[in-house]
Amino acid sequence: MVDGERIQKVLARGGIGSRREIERWISEGRLKINGNPVGLGDRLKEGDRLFLNDRIVNWEKFVEQPTRVLLYHKPVGEVVTRRDPEGRPVVFTQLPKLAVSRWIAVGRLDINTSGLLLVTNNGELANRLMHPSTQVEREYAVRILGNVSEATLARLKEGVELEDGKAKFDDIKFYGGEGANKWFNVTVAEGRNRLVRRLWESQEVVVSRLMRVRYGPVVLPERLKARTFYELNDKELELLFEFAGMANEKPAINAKPESKAHKPGKR
């Protein structure tokens, strides 16, 4: 790092925020190097003292920070937050501890939705995968009560008006079922809050179970049980970087991943 590395790149790698967020902090004067306000093109060099909101940032530990991505199988009942004022279990307590940085959830799943949750320590990767412009497909397995007419399915694919604008399923596939329960797999390309449930409910269809099974190119492994995770290997990371439009930023190799599949102890 002879000429240094851009501040936003270093901090995004460490999970402090996305590059876009960090650029905003720079424009707001919240970052300083050696006591001087930071400019957008400024680079960090060995020995520089970096401050965010007048608090020192130990940025050196982010320089060679390897990117890690976990596929976590979230169960119903856990919330995607670091702390919950109601004392409900949170997903982050189920993940391995990081020596530096922190885990960032790629999108959210509400408390009643289970399935695939991606978490990473790379803030820029997380931002790319969540940004609306990326149009990342999310696929869900949905169990509903009762029968659904072809006309209803057609409306859901054409688009219906919700309180926050028009929305639709990009694809709907029937997966069978017995008695009152029917299974469908649906795909959406945006991450609005409770979107899948709200689309079905707009047609007075009751959703009794909802599980995310895919996020972009990443599929929930069939053998991955609830409250367990799988860590992407180096080849899988490279493919995910390529999907996110970061092919030129080959991830640093995590030479000794903590685990491939893991079940935390009982709470």
Query: Range with the lowest mean pLDDT among 39-53, 136-150, 220-234, 247-261?
Result: 247-261
Give the span between the Cα atoms of 36 and 31, in whole angstroms. Answer: 8
Query: 5-62: what CATH class?
Result: alpha beta
Query: Is it true that 5-62 and 69-133+218-252 share their CATH fold?
Result: no
Query: Range with the lowest mean pLDDT among 3-12, 34-43, 109-118, 169-178?
Result: 3-12
pLDDT of residue 135: 87
State the average pLDDT over residues 177-203. Answer: 91
The CATH superfamily holding the domain 137-215 is Pseudouridine synthase (3.30.2350.10)
Query: 263 pLDDT band (50/70/90 cuts)?
Result: very low
State the average pLDDT over residues 211-225. Answer: 96
Burial of 78 (0-12, 13-18, 19+ CB in 10 A): buried
DSSP structure string for 30-59? -EEETTEEPPTT-EE-TT--EEETTEEE-G
pLDDT higher than threshold 70 for residue 204: yes
The domain spans of the chain are: 5-62, 69-133+218-252, 137-215
Check if the beta carbon of residue 127 is closer than 8 Å to that of residue 19.
yes
pLDDT of residue 265: 39
pLDDT higher than threshold 90 for residue 62: no
Q: What amino acid is encoded at 100 in this protein?
A: V
Query: Range with the lowest mean pLDDT among 41-45, 174-178, 210-214, 248-252?
Result: 248-252
Max mean pLDDT range (101-105, 159-163, 175-179):
159-163
Among the listed residues 124, 159, 152, 146, the one whose alpha carbon sits nearest the alpha carbon of residue 245? 124
Query: 203 pLDDT band (50/70/90 cuts)?
Result: very high
Gap between the terminal Cα atoms of the chain: 43
Residue 110 annotated among the catalytic residues of the structure: yes
Long-range contacts at 222-226 (CB < 8 A, ≥ 24 apart): 224/71, 224/73, 224/261, 225/73, 225/263, 226/73, 226/74, 226/75, 226/114
Pair type for strands 261-262 and 31-33: unpaired
Give the span between the Cα atoms of 10 and 31, in whole angstroms. Answer: 13
Mean pLDDT for the chain overall: 88
Residues making up the chain, counted from first to last: 267
Catalytic residue among 110, 164, 170, 234: 110
Query: 69-133+218-252: what CATH class?
Result: alpha beta
